Amino acid sequence: MSVVTTPSVLLRSFNYSETSQILRFYTLDLGLIGVMAKGVRRGSFQGRSSLNTFSRGDLTVYVKSTRDLQTFKEFNIREGGQSLGRDVLRFTAASVLAELVLTHAESEPGREIFECLTKGLKKLENVESEGVGLSLLSEGWLLVSLLGYKPQLDACVKCKDRIGTTERVQFDFEYGGIVCSNCSNNMSGSLEDCSLFEELRALLNGSRETPVRDIRSHLQLLNDFTLYHITGSKGLRSFRFFTSLMSFESRSFSNDDDPGFLTGEDIE
């Protein structure tokens, strides 16, 4: 058994018995790990009332490679994630990033994934409310690309011809990219103009401030793409929830309705 201290972000926690929790972290040096934290529910956690999801800091664990669950020693928190916990839309957006990593990160550690995830969470904490959707979009696509599923947008995925800026195209989920108007003859569904994919190309190139004309179509595309390539038929629960929150907000943004139907369980 060895003792390892590594920069980490807490992605999820489950209560286990009266006093303990099972915590799932993405760590810089160990990748995705599960940790049994005995006694953390007793009283307070290191003087705090609770251990917040999306807290970042240095985790120290006793590691035994043959075990599924490692043993918690301490978590020295540098950024507490409280501002995500106070806002359901931000929290749900952060949960989408977490769920992507939880369902698809390889067991080997990935520095780029760790950095993308922590940068993304920070962005969601600090962005203006109306920018949460766009931030989820840019951070989500960057993460999907790092997980190995970058969509192909520069040329038709079938005939490899470059696509003109005014051409109408389709997105082929099986091939993972756009299809020119010639090749899409036998495909069902309608052609779309290229602007959606030009915006997506800019997002994928790391331009986090790309304005998009139709955020809903973009979110739909990201959702469908992760459904096809990453999460399987189940899809991401938090993504479904985020989309319903977005439509709720657009319907009732002007009044003060409390979205009282939400519970912590829906999100976790």
Q: Specify the residue for token string 């993405």.
A: 26
Three-state DSSP state, 45: strand
* Residue number with CB closer to Zn ion (100 or 179): 179
Q: Which is nearer to Zn ion, 3 or 159 (CB)?
A: 159
Q: Is 69 exposed, middle or buried (0-12, 13-18, 19+ CB in 10 A)?
A: middle
183 binding Zn ion? (CB under 5 A): yes
Q: What's the rounded Cα separation, in Å, for the pair 124 and 35?
A: 26
Q: Of 3-11, 173-181, 208-216, 246-254, which part binds Zn ion (CB under 5 A)?
A: 173-181
Distance between CA atoms of residues 76 and 60, nearest Å: 8
* Residues recorded for the chain: 268
Smallest distance from Zn ion to CB 168, Å: 12
CA 93 to CA 240: how far, in whole Å?
A: 10
Distance CA 64, CA 41 (A): 24
Smallest distance, Zn ion to C-beta of residue 162, A: 10
List the x/- string, 116-155, binding to Zn ion by CB under 5 A. ----------------------------------------
Minimum gap (Å) between residue 77 Cβ and Zn ion = 51
Nearer to Zn ion, 83 or 181 (CB): 181
Helices (H) and strands (E) in the chain, counts: 8, 8
Q: Does 3 engage in binding with Zn ion (CB under 5 A)?
A: no
Shortest distance, CB of residue 189 to Zn ion, whole angstroms? 15
194 near Zn ion, rule: CB under 5 A: no
Compute the least distance from the CB of residue 108 to Zn ion, in Å.
Answer: 36
The least CB distance from residue 156 to Zn ion, in Å, is 3
Q: Is 35 in the site for Zn ion (CB under 5 A)?
A: no
Nearest to 100 by CA among 227, 245, 13: 227
Q: Which of 180, 203, 204, 222 binds Zn ion (CB under 5 A)?
A: 180
Amino acid identity of residue 11, one-letter, is L
Contact 19, 42 (CB under 8 A): yes
Nearer to Zn ion, 124 or 194 (CB): 194
From the list 158, 208, 229, 240, which residue makes contact with Zn ion (rule: CB under 5 A)? 158
Question: Closest Cα partner for 230 from 157, 173, 152?
Answer: 173
Write out the residues near Zn ion by the rule CB under 5 A. Answer: 156, 158-159, 180, 183
